[in-house]
């Protein structure tokens, strides 16, 4: 047997042998090699034992009676497409092998039939069983691979729908706030670029979690260079789920866009700080502060624009509490807080 495989990975064997000596010989031979065996005793419910899904079935010539053949046939008919159950048939030397084979192939569709003549050497029996247990294992591995592929396709479809919904929402809200076609094109392109950057960061991270500092660094990178850092980002390493990372990055993009148009980043000396922290409580709280300084004197707008609406709505949904956006005279401030668990896997 392949030593790289644990016993738990391999299936078990169901033995149908009405003569006790045969059943005991087969079972003892297999158990010596750590193969799990269940004997279908005379009078025992064969349907029940088959419902336990044996990996390999061994049946002797004497057990090939019409009821047993029909019951096994029903079991095989209920098998999924990936399943080809190996069945070892132990025949007498004088048996009409061709006739029996033809009959069983008609009755047992979807089975892998292997015929052996008795008496069968212990080594031959064990090798045949172990080989077919490995065949069964490979079948299940193919099944698992197919199931994973289906899951990945469903996930991809779901994510594409989410992205298209985000793009549609961004366009509609940008259109409502734009006064010219040029402004619409510029704002919409910028927001799509931000969305693209976030998805790139999440994809490159791999898995279901992403580093928040890396996402924030990528989001603010276009506004910093080696000589001047207009946006200072600082906080501890923390991993959050993909959706949370996307939401936070898009909110920061909206705040940055607003700062460029009307706030601190519209002035040469203007600066922004993005500071996040994690409390040390039993149920940690995540907080994030956006603080602008050095820009023009701030006056609270008479109407709420797209960026403010999006940030309030998105962070409230993410953290379970509406962020505090303050039009402070010295610069706009945004404070958001909520349970860290809401940003992580499983929420």
Answer with the one of 117, 144, 171 that is the final residue of a domain: 144
CATH code of the domain covering residue 52? 3.40.50.2300
Question: Given this model, what pLDDT does residue 5 score?
Answer: 40
Is there a domain that residue 258 lies in?
yes
> Mean pLDDT lowest for which of 41-50, 88-97, 296-305?
296-305
Is there a domain that residue 247 lies in?
yes
Answer with the one of 114, 144, 174 that is the final residue of a domain: 144
User: Does 81 have pLDDT greater than 60?
Assistant: yes
Is there a domain that residue 166 lies in?
no
Q: What Rg value do the Cα atoms of the chain yield, rounded?
A: 34
> In the chain, pLDDT over 90 holds for what percent of residues?
50
Q: Please tell me whether residues 218 and 129 are part of one structural domain.
A: no
Question: Given this model, what pLDDT does residue 174 score?
Answer: 72
Is there a domain that residue 85 lies in?
yes
Q: How confident is the model at residue 278 (pLDDT cuts 50, 70, 90)?
A: very high
Domain count, the chain: 2
Q: Please tell me whether residues 129 and 17 are part of one structural domain.
A: yes
User: Does 148 have pLDDT greater than 60?
Assistant: yes
Q: Please tell me whether residues 221 and 307 are part of one structural domain.
A: yes
Between 297 and 307, the more confident residue is 297
CATH code of the domain covering residue 313? 3.30.565.10
| Angstrom distances, CA of residue 246 to CA of 91, 152, 181, 199, 252 | 65, 20, 27, 7, 10
pTM of the model as a whole: 0.53
Residue 335 CB contacts under 8 Å (≥ 6 apart), including other chains: 287, 288, 289, 290, 323, 324, 326
Q: Average pLDDT, whole number, for the chain? A: 86
Mean pLDDT on 276-301: 92
Is there a domain that residue 179 lies in?
no
User: Does 92 have pLDDT greater than 60?
Assistant: yes
Q: How confident is the model at residue 9 (pLDDT cuts 50, 70, 90)?
A: low
Q: Please tell me whether residues 111 and 236 are part of one structural domain.
A: no
Mean pLDDT on 42-50: 90
Question: Given this model, what pLDDT does residue 285 score?
Answer: 96
User: Does 50 have pLDDT greater than 90?
Assistant: yes
Q: Please tell me whether residues 229 and 314 are part of one structural domain.
A: yes
What does the alpha-carbon distance between residue 101 and residue 118 come to, in Å, rounded to a whole number? 16
Answer with the one of 102, 127, 144 that is the final residue of a domain: 144
Is there a domain that residue 191 lies in?
no
Question: Given this model, what pLDDT does residue 116 score?
Answer: 93
Mean pLDDT on 244-259: 86
Structural domain including 21 reads: 9-144
């Amino acid at each position: 047997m392949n030593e790289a495989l644990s016993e738990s990975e391999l299936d078990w064997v169901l033995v149908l042998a009405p003569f006790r000596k045969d059943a005991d010989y087969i079972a003892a031979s297999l158990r010596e090699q750590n193969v799990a065996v269940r004997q279908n005793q005379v009078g025992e419910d064969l349907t029940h034992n088959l419902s336990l899904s044996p990996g390999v079935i061994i049946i002797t010539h004497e057990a090939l009676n019409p009821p047993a053949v029909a019951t096994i046939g029903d079991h095989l008919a209920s098998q999924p497409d990936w399943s080809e159950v190996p069945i070892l048939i132990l025949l007498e030397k004088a048996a009409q092998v061709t006739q029996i084979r033809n009959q069983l192939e008609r009755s047992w569709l979807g089975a892998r039939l292997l015929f052996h003549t008795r008496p069968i050497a212990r080594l031959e029996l064990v090798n045949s069983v172990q080989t077919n247990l490995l065949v069964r294992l490979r079948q299940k591995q193919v099944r698992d691979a197919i199931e994973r592929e289906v899951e990945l396709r469903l996930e991809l479809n779901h994510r594409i729908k989410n992205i298209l919904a985000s793009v549609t929402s961004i366009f509609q809200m940008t259109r409502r706030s734009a006064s010219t076609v040029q402004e619409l094109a510029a704002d919409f392109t910028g927001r799509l670029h931000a969305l693209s950057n976030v998805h790139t960061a999440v994809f490159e991270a791999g898995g279901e979690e992403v580093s928040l500092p890396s996402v924030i660094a990528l989001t603010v990178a276009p506004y910093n260079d080696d000589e001047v850092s207009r946006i200072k980002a600082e906080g501890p390493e923390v991993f959050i789920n993909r959706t949370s990372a996307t939401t936070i990055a898009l909110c920061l993009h909206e705040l940055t866009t607003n700062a460029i148009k009307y706030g601190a980043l519209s002035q040469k000396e203007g600066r922004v700080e993005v500071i996040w922290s994690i409390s040390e409580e039993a149920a940690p709280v995540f907080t994030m502060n956006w603080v602008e300084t050095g820009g023009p004197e701030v006056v609270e707008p008479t109407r709420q624009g797209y960026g403010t609406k999006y940030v309030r709505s998105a962070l409230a949904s993410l953290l379970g509490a509406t962020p505090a956006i303050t039009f402070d005279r010295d610069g706009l401030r945004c404070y958001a807080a909520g349970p860290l668990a809401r940003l992580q896997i499983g929420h």
